[in-house]
Structure 1
Amino acid sequence: MKKVIILIGAGMLMLLGVGGSCGVSGVKILKGMAENRPGEFGRWQGVFRWCARGLPFVDNLPEWVGDKTYIVLLQNNTELRPTGGFMGSYIRARFKDGGLVDWTAQDIYEPDGKLAGHVEPPYPVQEAFRQGWWRLRDSNWDPDFASAAATVAWFLEQGGEEKIDGVMAINLELVNSILKILGPVEVVTYGETVTDKNLYNLAQSYAEVDWKPGSTQKRDFLGAVGTAVWERMKNIRPGQAVKLAGLVKAQLDKKQILVWIGEEKLQAEIREWGWDGGLGNYYGDYLYIVETNLGANKANCCINRELRHEVEIGDGELRERIEVEWQNDNPFENPRPPYFWGGDYIDYVRVVVPREARVVSVSVSGEKLRPQTQGDFARPSSLRQERSEEVWVEEERERVRIIGFWVVVPARERVAAEVKYELPGDEFADMYRVLVKRQPGIEKFAYRLTVNGIVRREGEVMKDERIEAGME
């Protein structure tokens, strides 16, 4: 692992244009961290900070790797959740005085089962699973990663983890991309050859076939895979290290890797680089579709979506219509382990728009939903037993309005949802501007923007995109 950290870190420095004595000092720091040699870190970090000012994490480097404990969430984006995917496992990384002193993998159900007391669940979680409580496994609920990560950290600490200073989320797709670079990896203890094509099915098979309470099958298998990957990476070639570094940088920029730090000064740096996974409505109009798979399956292996966005501007007002259409290509309604884990797509959808928006209507499959009433939520969430598919709910935050409702897409079918709303439009008299966000865990989606009857953008959205359209 030491060589891996050094080589990938060196590759990142190359990608960021750090060479010469700066590059040498950076590699020395990485080596000191990986080998837990505080003296080496202390000797070179001053030089590196001086000559690499302005690069990520450099100015506050000693604080990043002082006495800190970080959690890396390993999310399965074939079961889509707001921050990317279902949290099946995590890694605990502990630093002290610039050195990495601990790196341990753990199953999410280990601390999940130790939570004492009752935590009231978000109502869709209760309506989906009807268990009467909120647990760690479903705690990455908020579409704003900073809020979700802080909640995850709290649940982990309640489950016995020491104080957590930061949380990073990565998805299964990143692990698959790493395997594409490395090639097949032999997991000798299980007699398996793991590739980017079969990792998911193997992990699910060992996790859920003959599973029983207290089982460590998934943890043991993923731990064995992790060990095998690290062993393989000990012999990584410099060219592969550069590819891995490029992959990590690209995933950060695409917000497929998200980072939250509890200390505000350090979190501000994450926000500045756009790696915080925040809602971030600071740019004209705004549109973010957030999906949550609450079907206890891996249906997102086989889900495609199209977003059609129509805007009419006139008389100082924006009238907007969005339509999202999902295609569920899962062949069966329910999982058929050990070879198939998908099924019907039971999706709680949140449409995030500017706070000033006034919702006109919400429809699913042509059926108009009704807005929530006070009576709809008179009972505690933990007592709810049925999905309220006929209702849409509304939440107002500092800069955004969140519209939530259920969408169920049966296997082999297509289903569309429509939301209409209005916005003040004076600022768009000459130029329409919109930020269209792409949810972590989704690689891409088809998008078409029509402004006053003219198609202004059509194609795939692969990362958050700012779009401008002049008025004609």
Structure 2
Amino acid sequence: MDVSFVKEVLESIGTVEVSDYKQKVSANNFYTLTQKHAEENFFPGSTQKKDFLSSLYKSIQLSLSGKKNKSYFSLSQAVSKALTGKHILFALNDSRAQEAFSIGGWSSALIDNRVNESGVYNDYVAINEANLGVNKANFSVKRRVYHDVLIDDGDAVAASLEIIYDNDGKSDYKNYLRAIVPFGAVLKDIKLDGKRQEISPAVTNPGIYEKSGFIPPQGLEVEDYEQYDKRVFGFLVNVPKGKKRIVTITYTLPKAQFKNGKLDYSMSYFKQPGTEEYPFTLNLKFPSGVAIVSTQGRREEDRVVYSDRISSDFTFLSSFARR
């Protein structure tokens, strides 16, 4: 479980007194206090955040066991919301039981059970971030995601993924970003704040980059590899404190195959565990001579637009037919 779940619990049970620290913790000040204990006098290997959270967990347990008028309904809602939003995950030794939790979306596994068949176009989007800085800058970072898809009759599908980061914190956000897209995707270019980057294959062998005199390649080092029948593009993105950064990844996908003049577009979005909800917009453009049969998005002249806030995994569907 992560700190977002703890905040939900605090909203359900109210303020808790952490006697070890002589502090009252509520849903309103929880993040501030956690970050304070994590960053003050920090050094690599320090356990101050862990120690504070351990004391808080004990205080929450005492509060739950001591309260006579507990709201179990409110608490169960917090647990349900945390499960759906991946703020609680399960890792089990029993592979069959673990598979069941993974299918239910209660693990970090990249599960995609959709069937590949003619007349169905399966798109996939997942964003995975790792904070490489010795700080908790990720607490202060907000993001917006835009996914553009152009289905061109008979040609490869053009796609882009744009992530806009806003860092309101006091520390830089040193983020290793992995964009996970369908198998067969081919990376075309990457832009940072609108500037096209010179892409170099990432050097990932420690035996090479740890050697004395190693000179990193010029440009943006990008990992480009297959994983779980998906394509992964990984690279470092630094978002300075108090700044905004726009990351745009452009790539092509295999062409769409209509069957009997019909095509079903299915996009599966995988939400990274531990992230707060954020805005997402899909802009799906289709060729002339094609009509929308049904869609979960907003119909426009030559496209479908879908906007929502990402709080869990979801699948978007849209069906087309030739006129």
TM-score by length of 2: 0.79
Aligned residue for 2:268? 435
Shifted more, 319-328 versus 263-272: the winner is 263-272
Q: 1:286 — aligned with what?
A: 124
Provide closer, same or farther for how the CA distance between residues 180 and 424 of structure 1 changes in structure 2, counting only shifts above 3 A: same
User: 2:57 maps to which residue?
Assistant: 226
In structure 2, what is the equivalent of residue 460 of structure 1?
309
Residue of structure 1 in register with 2:78 after alignment = 247
Distance 1:309 1:369 in 2: 20
For residues 182-211 of structure 1, what are the alpha-carbon distances to aligned partners after superposition, in whole Å with 9 as ceiling and x for unaligned?
Answer: 111122343211112223333444455346
Q: Name the residue aligned to 1:305.
A: 143
Q: Is the 8 A contact 1:317 1:422 kept in 2?
A: yes
After superposition, the C-alpha distances for 1:300-337 in whole angstroms (9 at most, x for unaligned) are 2322212111111121531111211112222x4xxxxx
Tell me the TM-score normalized by structure 1.
0.56
Q: Pick one of 408, 422, 427 that aligns with 2:238.
A: 408
- Give distance in 1, aligned partners of 2:127 and 2:228: 18
Which protein, 1 or 2, shows the higher relative CO under an 8 Å CA cutoff with sep ≥ 6? Answer: 2
Determine the C-alpha separation between the residues in 2 that align with 1:329 and 1:320. 29
- Matched residues in 1 for 2:66 and 2:113: separation? 45
Instruction: Give deviations 1:119-148, integer Å, cap 9, x for gaps.
Output: xxxxxxxxxxxxxxxxxxxxxxxxxxxxxx
Within 5 A, what are the aligned runs for 1:421-432? 421-427=251-257, 430-432=263-265
Which whole-Å CA distance do the structure 2 matches of 1:464 and 1:268 have between them? 17
1:354/1:379 CA distance change after superposition, 3 Å: same
Which residue of structure 2 aligns with residue 66 of structure 1? none
Give the Cα separation in 2 of the matches to 1:220 and 1:374: 37
- Could you say which residue in structure 1 is the equivalent of 2:180? 352
Is the CA contact (8 Å cut-off) linking 1:206 and 1:218 kept in structure 2? yes
2:88 corresponds to 1:257: yes
SS of match in other structure, 2:90: strand
Unaligned runs of 5+ in 1: 1-169, 333-342
Fraction of identical pairs, as percent: 27
CA distance 1:278–1:237, change in 2 (3 Å): farther
Following the alignment from structure 2 to structure 1, what is the Cα–Cα distance between the partners of residues 216 and 203?
15
CA distance in 1, matches of 2:100, 2:203: 44
Cα distance in 1 for partners of 2:78, 2:228 equals 34
Mean alpha-carbon deviation: is it higher for 389-398 or for 355-364?
A: 389-398
Distance of 1:373 and 1:323 partners within structure 2: 21
CA gap 1:369/1:281 in 2 versus in 1, 3 angstroms: farther
Whether contact under 8 Å (2:164, 2:246) holds in the other structure is yes
Shift of 1:172: 0.5
Distance 1:408 1:215 in 2: 24
Q: Quote how far apart the aligned CAs of 1:401 are.
A: 0.9
Most deviating of 446-455 and 369-378: 369-378
Partner in structure 1 of residue 282 of structure 2: 449
Specify which of 155, 174, 183 is matched with residue 14 of structure 2. Answer: 183
Q: Using the alignment, how far apart are the partners of 1:205 and 1:374 within structure 2?
A: 35
- Cα separation, 1, equivalents of 2:44 and 2:319: 59
Q: Is the 8 A contact 1:260 1:267 kept in 2?
A: yes
Unaligned runs of at least 5 residues, structure 2: 115-121, 286-301
Write the deviation string for residues 235-276 of structure 1: whole angstroms up to 9, x where unpaired: 345651222122212221222211121221221222343312
| 3-state DSSP of counterpart to 2:28 | coil
Distance 1:231-1:373 versus aligned 2 partners, 3 A rule = closer
- How far is 1:350 from its partner? 0.5
What is the CA distance between 1:445 and its match in structure 2?
Answer: 1.6
Q: Give 1:91-130 correspondences, 5 Å limit.
A: none
What amino acid is aligned across from residue 360 of structure 1 in structure 2? K
Instruction: Give distance in 1, aligned partners of 2:6 and 2:203.
Output: 46
Deviation, 1:279, is 0.8
Alignment of 1:50-449 (within 5 A): 170-210=1-41, 217-237=48-68, 240-283=71-114, 284-314=122-152, 315-330=154-169, 332=170, 343-373=171-201, 379-380=207-208, 382=210, 390-427=220-257, 430-449=263-282
Secondary structure at 2:306 match in 1 = strand
Partner amino acid, structure 1, of 2:185 = A
Tell me, in whole angstroms, the C-alpha distance in 1 between the residues paired with 2:162 and 2:68. 47
Query: CA offsets, 1:62-87, max 9 Å, x none?
Result: xxxxxxxxxxxxxxxxxxxxxxxxxx
Corresponding letter in the other structure for 1:348: Y
Range that drifts further, 361-370 or 210-219: 210-219
Corresponding residue SS for 2:9 = helix
Corresponding residue SS for 2:66: coil
Contact residue 267 and residue 317 of structure 2 kept, 8 A: yes
- Three-state SS of the structure 2 residue aligned to 1:247 is helix
Assess, with a 3 A threshold, how the Cα gap between structure 1 residues 204 and 272 changes in structure 2: closer, same or farther: closer
| C-alpha distance in 2 between matches for 1:212 and 1:255 | 29
User: Does the 8 Å CA contact 1:255/1:440 hold for their aligned counterparts?
Assistant: yes
Asked if structure 2 preserves the Cα contact closer than 8 Å seen for 1:389 and 1:405, the reply is: no
8 Å CA contact 2:11–2:26 kept in 1: the answer is: yes
Shift of 1:404: 0.6
Aligned length: 292
Contact persistence 2:164–2:247 (CA under 8 A): yes
**Contact 2:123 2:267 (C-alpha < 8 Å) held by counterparts:** yes
